[in-house]
Structure formats: C-alpha cells, structure tokens
Amino acid sequence: MQALNPLAIELNEELLDAAPSVFALLSELGKRIYLPKGILSQTAEANRQAFQFNATRAIALDFSDGTGDMMHLPVSRKLVPELTPESTYGYAPVLGQQALREVWGTHLLQENPSLHQKTFSLPIVTSGMTHGLSLLSELFLDSGDTLILADQIWGNYRLIFQTKAGADIQTYPFFNASNGFNTRGFHQTLANATDEKLCVLLNFPHNPTGYAVTRTEAQQMVDAIVARAETGCRILVMIDDAYAGLWYDDTVMHESLFGLLVGCHPDVVPVKIDGATKEEYAWGLRVAFLTFGLDATAMQPLEQKLSGLIRANTSGASQVSQTLILKAMQAQGYAEQRQRNYETLKARALKVKAVASDERYKRYWDVYPSHAGYFVCLRLKSGNAETVRQRLLAEHGIGIIALGETALRVAYSCLDESDIERVFAEIARVVEKG
Ligand SMILES: Cc1ncc(COP(=O)(O)O)c(C=O)c1O
C-alpha cells in the first residue's frame, strides 16, 4: 500500500474533523488524493506578485501589438470575435470559473425552493456530467462497494460505476404495480444492504422513461434514506439532475430531490450532478456541475481533493465553453429563449403522451408514465424490442433505442411535433407485422 503524502494526511484530518461522514465515505483513492503545491500554487503566487515578468504559466503570450495577450490563431478567433482571447484560450481554474460557479449557485437557488435557508456548496465545474459522475466514483467508491440503482437507468452508470470502479450494484424495480415510483422497493433495497457505507444514485426526470416523482414519493425516498442512516450507515446520495427544469406535468415535483436531502441527516451526504448539457441546450460544450450539501469547512478539504482528481484527469473544463455558458446566462433575452425551448419540448411531450397512449395502440404496447425530460418509453406486449428497432430502421428509416427485450425508448426531443403521429404509426406497423 502506497504511503499517504503528508498533504493528503492533512486533508484527511481536516475532513475527519469537519465532516466525519464524508471522510468515512472516501474511497482509498479519495483518501490518497491531494492537490500538490507545485506549478499551480507557484503560478498563483506569481500572478499576485510578479510585477516585472511572469514566466510561470505553460501558455504563450503575444507582444506584437504591445498587449501581451494570449497568443492565438486569428482563424479560430474570428469565429468567436466578441470573446476576449483570455476567456477563449486561457486555462480555466481547476474547479471552474468563479463567476460561472456563482451564477450556477444562484440558478440552483432560483429553481429549488427547498434549498432556501439550507447550506450547500459553490458548484464545481466538470467537463460534462459524465465527468462529474466519474469524479464521484473515484472519490467515494472502491471495488466491492455497494451502489443502489433502479433497474431502469441511463446505461453509462454501469460503465462508470461497475465496469470502471468495480462497484457491487444492487437494483430495485423502478416501477411499482400501480406504475408509480417503487418507493417500497427502494426502501427495502436500502434496508437489505448490510454495509456501513452505501452509495445511492437517483435520476429524475428519468432516463429512459421520462418519469418524475411526486412530492409525496420524494419525501418517502428521503424518509427511507434517513431511516437507513439512523441505523448507523453513512450514505452518499448522488442526484443526477440532467433534465432538471424540463417538467411538463403539474402533478409531479418541479424541483430537485437535492433540496429535500440537504441537511436531512448528518450521515447523509447529498451531491447534485447537473449541467449546462441539457438545461442550457449545450450538449457538446461539456460544462456541468457538482454541488454538495455541505458547509464551507467540509468543502475546503473536499475541494482540494477534487482539484487533485481533476488535475490528474482533464486538468479542468474548457475555458471557451464555460465563457459561452456564463455569458449566455447573463445575456438579455436568456430567460425568454430558454422558455421558448421549454415550451417547444412541452408541446412535443403532450403530443407524444396523447398519441402513444391512443386506444388503437393499446394492443401493441403500454406506455411507461412520462412527465418530463426528453423521452417516452414503450413496453411491447409482443415481439422483441431489438427486432422492432432494426426493422424500423431498415424498412422505415426511423431510429429509436431498444432496451432489453421489451422496451423501446423514443427521444421525442428530436422529433418535430408534426411528425410525432407518423413515427408512432410506423412503430405500430412494424410491431403488428411481428
Ligand atoms: C441521466 C443522464 N445523466 C447524464 C447524462 C450525460 O451528461 P453529459 O453529456 O453532460 O456527460 C445523460 C445524457 O444522456 C443522461 O441522460
């Protein structure tokens, strides 16, 4: 076993002192990781004090016009002429641009009434949500640690937590007999896992079904988590809020479970993973956030550890991407443009709900309840989902996703409202042919 670096020991002691539950949840790598006092800290010192020449940064400066601005290629600059060279080409801070972190924190408060008067961290910028989930996996999960997941999930969780980290995944059926969220199954799976440390990952609005929880279901889940924590278990609750804000149904809760979980129990550590990815319609910009339900004293060492992990993999998220998101969120017309996209997606969701659940399709499939996000999922009553998918693609040129033997996921986010009727009619035709 590798000896711990003195800086890691210091961080561990700080964490143990400030937040013993967080320390107890750390993986072996989480205990080992630290941010070396190397180039970054020397550069930071020079940024403050080098009044003559600063030759610390691994970048190149251009003095041809006397400014000493970032050297760059005008052919790329002319594509984003309004942005400064520094905000386009410079390195962003390891944990992300301070202003963007603050703007996202304000956004969380606006969107989540339950967060008011609660303590949560400044969001940390990651290179997309997948990166955020991977960081959590590195920080908290060792091979063999238990992760509780629903049986219907975004498939990448398995790659991140099972294949990469070696977690022992315990699943519960996502739906109960009345097609609501299976709070009882969730409760039982938590209760049955005998570990003293548990990791839970929740995702609403849900991929693949588009399900969103009611406030009652959300409270039952929090109660189940608190009940398990009461037995002496430390629980990391990861909340994947990829589709936050995209709720189209008034019967479901229009905020994240995160707000309900923050401060619910000293041994429950909630972390929200969300992003510009879907919320800001910026999939390929790779800007997302990790926000912990922890106070500043706990975050101090934890941020150092996350800085170490980020430094050791991506070294930081894209500067130009962060600048684009920040400037967009501060721009005039931002709220209206966002609302317009929301209305478009909501209209498609409502249309899909009406069409997919139409009487004439009842003999082919059931529709899983869908209230939010991008997707609707069909449960075929006969035939094989993969066969239907292949034939739909080959014979009708329509692409959808087959999940397991019987489920078909349709991303209506990619369909014009006027094409929705046709798509489901074609699916029905293929299913009918058998
Ligand atoms: C539930 C869920 N989480 C996370 C992601 C990935 O987000 P990102 O592209 O920011 O890595 C997706 C993308 O489809 C998703 O559906």
- The reply to whether 155 and 268 lie within a common domain is yes
**CATH assignment at residue 116:** 3.40.640.10
d(CA 414, CA 117): 38
Domain count within the chain: 3
- The reply to whether 307 and 343 lie within a common domain is no
Tell which residue, 164, 229, 154, 157, has the closest CA to residue 195. Answer: 229
Q: How far is CA 204 from its chain centroid?
A: 10
Note the pLDDT of residue 201: 98
Supply the Cα-derived Rg of the chain in whole angstroms. Answer: 24
Task: For residue range 205-258, list pLDDT tens digits in order.
Answer: 999 999 999 999 999 999 999 999 999 999 999 999 999 999 999 999 999 999
d(CA 148, CA 185): 11
Q: Which domain holds residue 309?
A: 6-35+94-330
Which contiguous run of DSSP H or E holds residue 60? Answer: none
Q: Which atom belonging to ligand 1 lies closest to the Cα atom of 275?
A: 10
Task: For residue range 275-305, list pLDDT tens digits in order.
Answer: 999 999 999 999 999 999 999 999 999 999 9
Per-residue pLDDT band for 1 (boundaries 50, 70, 90) equals low
Residue 400 lies in a domain: yes
- The reply to whether 27 and 58 lie within a common domain is no
Instruction: Could you list the beta-strand ranges (E) of 177-309.
Output: 197-203, 234-240, 268-275, 288-292
- The reply to whether 185 and 98 lie within a common domain is yes
What sign does the CA torsion over 211, 221, 189, 271 have? positive
Expressed in angstroms and rounded, the spacing between residue 431 Cα and the centre of ligand 1 is 29
Task: For residue range 136-153, list pLDDT tens digits in order.
Answer: 999 999 999 999 999 999
Average pLDDT, the chain: 96
- The reply to whether 205 and 308 lie within a common domain is yes
- The reply to whether 214 and 346 lie within a common domain is no
- The reply to whether 319 and 206 lie within a common domain is yes
Structural domain ending residue among the three candidates 279, 296, 330: 330
- The reply to whether 324 and 344 lie within a common domain is no
Task: For residue range 328-363, list pLDDT tens digits in order.
Answer: 999 999 999 999 999 999 999 999 999 999 999 999
Residue 366 lies in a domain: yes
Q: Which atom belonging to ligand 1 lies closest to the Cα atom of 130?
A: 11
Question: Does ligand 1 lie within 6 Å of residue 275's CB atom?
Answer: yes
- The reply to whether 297 and 415 lie within a common domain is no
Question: Does ligand 1 lie within 6 Å of residue 288's CB atom?
Answer: yes
- The reply to whether 310 and 380 lie within a common domain is no
Question: Does ligand 1 lie within 6 Å of residue 182's CB atom?
Answer: no
Q: Which residues are paired to 146 by β-bridges?
A: 168
- The reply to whether 64 and 22 lie within a common domain is no
Residue 1 lies in a domain: no
Which residue's CA is minimally distant from atom 16 of ligand 1?
A: 207
d(CA 74, CA 224): 57
- The reply to whether 202 and 98 lie within a common domain is yes
